[in-house]
Structure 1
């Protein structure tokens, strides 16, 4: 199983101005934008950490997900949430020949925790022996920062500020996350009670 981010978060969607206000950085100076690249990198790092912790994609972008077989042919849970569209499903045989499935044979079952791709009929199409299936999907709360739930947006700012404040401290290698951030993320974490299945 392999999840690949096909598009990245555009710079315009990052809340650099809000982050500066959160950090209480001075404004009105000629050098106001001198730290923008550094602030952008901390925002991206914080978003990546929160997405990894919660399985939720914050800013909308495209992904491709490749797997060698369906875990459940009556409906496959997708690896991230929320998912707003399934762009394509491609069966790939052992000779790397690709067959794009008609979108009439599958559908997206939206869910904020566990979205699924389900068959329109009884079962999802069979994955070729020795081959794979690639699912293209559009995931995220929306294309703009304002589309995020307020608590997730606050968690990003808090974690990015933590990274900013401790940017020279190499003793934080254990990957700690501040309590305020973890408490904001708790309700978004997926509880896995499915014996290892997705």
Structure 2
């Protein structure tokens, strides 16, 4: 189970960038709406339920497991750091696993990182009880919008512009039978290289 502990402090694109995308120069009348659209499009891509299967701006999570598997696959790349691993020992007492007992592979990589026992070490025994192991980790490209890859920022701006101009999901012109798609042309191409399709990706 994944739990968001500390959400991102910012968004992948700023209000000013979105307004520039929309050609809005002075007025602030639409600022609240544009901020909501940025947040909505970001949520479509980011975090546990996002389309990408990854974290964008820095965020802190915990992951609970029922036991220690052969290797722990950490979701939501790119992984910045593993803060700690705690577990319930056979007696039911909470213990913190020393950092020299495990190795983290794939930090800052585009794929999911892995945690394995350090060379010559094995995982400790845990109580046979649900959520006996907790991994606390930090994920995301960085602390501000400039750290997020430009194709993803461009996709967010593209989608924000699309939603701003088309206030309904689908608009049908009865005269031409033309419709406006839910996502704008080019959006899927921009995000495709960053999308994780399988758990082992």
TM range (shorter): 0.7 to 0.9
Normalized per residue, the structure richer in helix is: 1
What is the CA RMSD across the aligned residues, in angstroms? 2.8
Does residue 1:88 correspond to 2:84, yes or no? yes
The 5 Å alignment of 1:113-192 reads 113-121=111-119, 122-132=121-131, 133-167=133-167, 169=168, 176-192=182-198
3-state SS, counterpart of residue 77 of structure 1 = strand
1:107 alignment counterpart:
103
Per-residue CA deviations over 1:96-127 (Å, capped at 9, x if unaligned) read: 74322212212221231121112113433344
Distance 1:55 1:20, change over 3 A: same
Query: Following the alignment from structure 2 to structure 1, what is the Cα–Cα distance between the partners of residues 199 and 76?
Result: 17
Give the TM-score taking structure 2 as reference length.
Answer: 0.79
Provide, for residues 109-159 of structure 1, a one-character-per-residue CA deviation record: whole Å limited to 9, x for no partner. 123112111211343334421142111111000001001111111111122
Q: Deviations over 1:49-68 (max 9, x none)?
A: 11211112110111111122
Q: Residues of 2 paired with 1:161 and 1:94: CA distance?
A: 55
Q: What per-residue deviation string (whole Å, max 9, x for no partner) do you get for residues 53-90 of structure 1?
A: 111211011111112234x41x2211110001001111
What CA distance in whole angstroms lies between the structure 2 residues aligned with 1:25 and 1:92? 55
CA distance in 2: counterparts of 1:142 and 1:24, whole angstroms: 28
Give the greater-gyration-radius structure (CA): 2
Rounded to whole Å, the distance in 2 between the matches of 1:77 and 1:141 is 18
1:80 is paired with a residue whose SS is coil
Unaligned runs of 5+ in 1: none
8 Å CA contact retained: 1:96, 1:131: no
Runs (5+) with no aligned partner, structure 2: 172-180
Q: Secondary structure at the match of 1:63?
A: strand
Q: How many residues align?
A: 185
Deviation at 1:93, TM superposition (A): 6.2
1:11–1:79 CA distance, 2 compared to 1 (3 A): closer
What is the aligned partner in structure 1 of residue 175 from structure 2?
A: none
